[in-house]
Chains A and B, each alone.
Chain A
């Protein structure tokens, strides 16, 4: 399997994605942003389609759209009661735009499918390198603002009372999330990106006792899902995103069952 360059690239990319999603996912869950993550993935689809239309690499189109829109979404939905409605409106607009750009670019349905659901074959060594740099950037920023981000994500009231710049933190986090979405979409596709950004961390929440422990477990679960998905996809020739989605969903349902048993005891 590793004699093929595309499989080596896919494993390298998958490992980077699993690490970044495990870490960012913890904050996505703590900040209750699963729905917003889903929207960013749809915006990512639109950006990739725009990239194709403009003759760019899809990742660059995705980066442009997700980063710009994350700032707009952050401004629009600073008040949480407005967040869901604002997010839905933006989501609808961007899916429509994605379809328009694909149509203008005269690309066929299989191209749209690969953007939406990801592809293992298409990842080159230079793609892996770009993903590595972007992920390192996200990790360094998270490392630097970790204490502020943890405080604001797990105890927003306390962080506000402390006088932390919670709005600036929120927008910074959204930009980091946009970068993570663009990176992770390369393998699982823009439509299924929220699987890796939400499910491993949501599962880890039920087993971990500390935030650090939740992060390590989320990374482990994401790695198990991505690596197993790649192997199973190679062996069976079925889409990798199906296997990753199925494995992560099974982990999540096991965690829910375990939690129910714990509560019943």
Chain B
């Protein structure tokens, strides 16, 4: 049985001055699905993600968030991060940064428990006290992931966040995301240029090309299709 839809894009379009980024995009994402968003640089993948995150207004069409239980909350792991190597910020503190609101400066017992829980789930328990600036590339990515997940979102966007990792670390991170996807019914949008990883870890794809958007089950994404017109 298909799970309930969590996000629906209908005739969605974003146009920058004199430059349509994408047009008439229709997409339904269901709870617990893992999607790959692929396409060449500049084709509008990040613009689409920012529109889903409410950071950009669509020029036309609409986005519906369809929560089956409570609100749709989104965790986002961006491609780049600028963390000074000398910051006195432990991985645990870094993860807790995402707990915001008009609250006291220090975390409450409930909030500390949330941080602890996500550190356990992402395998960072032993590294909680390591300064984030001194962590390895893979550990940092796990910390970024944990920060995005600390408020228990039901939709996770990985925006080329594995691009700078070596193949082993990349696999480790995506194994972890898959485990969280299965255990927590987390819906994942994986923006990537890495077709083998998309084929291995996701079930659906959305391929963006100038003036055209194509989607389907990942098994339909053949090498010929990807290379036809150099789409990644």
Contacts and interface: CB of A to CB of B under 8 A. Distances in A.
Interface of A: 30, 143-144, 146-148, 150-151, 154-159, 161-164, 204-206, 208-214, 259
Nearest to B103: A147
Secondary structure class of chain A's binding surface, majority of residues: helix
A154 B144 CA distance: 13
A210 B106 CA distance: 12
Contacts of B93: 210-211
Contact of A209 (B81, B84, B88, B105): B88
Interface residues of B, number: 30
Contacts of A159: 97
Contacts of B97: 147, 150-151, 154-155, 158-159
B105 A157 contact: no
A206 B83 CA distance: 15
B100 A148 contact: yes
Interface string B102-120: 1101100000000000000
Given A158-B147, A209-B131, A214 B78 contact: no
Interface of B: 53-55, 76, 78, 80-84, 86-90, 93-94, 97-103, 105-106, 129, 131, 144, 147
A156 B97 CA distance: 11
Residue picked from A144, A146, A155, most chain B C-beta under 10 Å = A155
Contact of A144 (B54, B102, B129): B102
Given A156-B82, A158-B147, A211-B93, A205 B88 contact: yes
Contacts of B87: 30, 154, 205
A161 B105 contact: no
Contact of A143 (B80, B98, B105): B105
B53 A155 contact: no
